[in-house]
Amino acid sequence: MGKERTPIPISPVTKKNGYMQNAPRSPGSGDFYDFSCKVMLIGDSGVGKTCLLVRFKDGAFLSGSFISTVGIDFRNKVVNVDGTKVKLQIWDTAGQERFRSITRAYYRDAQALLLLYDVTTKASFDNIRAWLAEINEYAQDDVVIMLLGNKSDMTNERVIRREDGERLAKEYGVCFMETSAKTGLNVDLAFMAIARDLKSKKTRKPNEEKFNVAEFVDNEKQKAGCCS
């Protein structure tokens, strides 16, 4: 286990369903947005949640010694989805067991969950079922879930095949992709797919077709010519 990050004070409270609509400015970021939503990063300690967030927010990779998150932390990023500005309020949770009760308190406000395992650590993959049970118990019924197999750049150390991740995701009916916080593979795609799904849920008219997040991800991967 690595060092620990300084505890971060907990929580601006969001509305019950987590959406804050038509706010003129997102607190702290200075960016205008049309609506905001809460996304949580969860999974075992060391799978790369903080690194994934830093890669998405700042385009950088936190290499060097591992600093384990204490409690919970968040970062905002406003993304543009076909002209609509969606503020993603991204909560980075601590994977260590002793912080589990803190994490549980945040599930109910989340519209989307990015659930990570590390393709080089079998235990983190085996624990995904337990994480999904947690989600089932504490999160909203219609929460968007995306399973991410992170550290896909570590080819030589890999112990979990892509097909294993795909199979598990299919079993639970959730979207799946492999990512790398180090190279950036699929990181923007994961967050953008979530933002699109949430925008669609928020703005879809009754006669409009539902947004299919899995289909969107497949199309985008094909466009990028990648296979992960």
Ligand X SMILES: Nc1nc2c(ncn2[C@@H]2O[C@H](COP(=O)(O)OP(=O)(O)OP(=O)(O)O)[C@@H](O)[C@H]2O)c(=O)[nH]1
Please report which residue ranges of the chain form alpha helices under DSSP H: 49-58, 100-107, 122-126, 128-138, 162-172, 187-203, 213-224
- Is 149 a binding residue for ligand X by CB under 6 A? The answer is no
Check if the beta carbon of residue 96 is closer than 8 Å to that of residue 31.
Answer: no
- Is 48 a binding residue for ligand X by CB under 6 A? The answer is yes
- Is 68 a binding residue for ligand X by CB under 6 A? The answer is yes
Distance between alpha carbon 153 and the CA centroid of its chain, in Å? 19
Phi, psi of 169 (to 5 degrees): -60, -40
Q: How far apart (Å, rounded) are the C-alpha atoms in residues 153 and 175?
A: 20
Nearer to ligand X, 34 or 44 (CB): 44
- Is 228 a binding residue for ligand X by CB under 6 A? The answer is no
Task: Give the count of residues interacting with ligand X (CB under 6 A).
Answer: 22
Angle between helical axes of 162-172 and 128-138 (0-180°, round to 10):
30
Q: Which of 26, 50, 121, 150 binds Mg ion (CB under 5 A)?
A: 50
Nearer to ligand X, 20 or 145 (CB): 145
154 strand-pairing partners: none
Per the listing, tokens 């180090």 go with: 182
180 binds, among Mg ion, ligand X, none (CB under 5 to 8 A by kind): ligand X
- Is 151 a binding residue for ligand X by CB under 6 A? The answer is yes
- Is 115 a binding residue for ligand X by CB under 6 A? The answer is no
Q: How far apart (Å, rounded) are the C-alpha atoms in residues 36 and 14?
A: 10
Q: Which of 37, 51, 146, 194 binds ligand X (CB under 6 A)?
A: 51
Select the span of 29-37, 49-57, 131-139, 208-216 touching ligand X (CB under 6 A). Answer: 49-57
Q: Which of 37, 38, 39, 49 binds ligand X (CB under 6 A)?
A: 49
| CA atoms within a 13 Å half-sphere pointing along the CA-CB vector of 18 | 25
Select the span of 25-33, 78-86, 91-99, 164-172 touching ligand X (CB under 6 A). Answer: 91-99
- Is 95 a binding residue for ligand X by CB under 6 A? The answer is yes
Site residues for Mg ion, 29-48, by CB under 5 A, read none
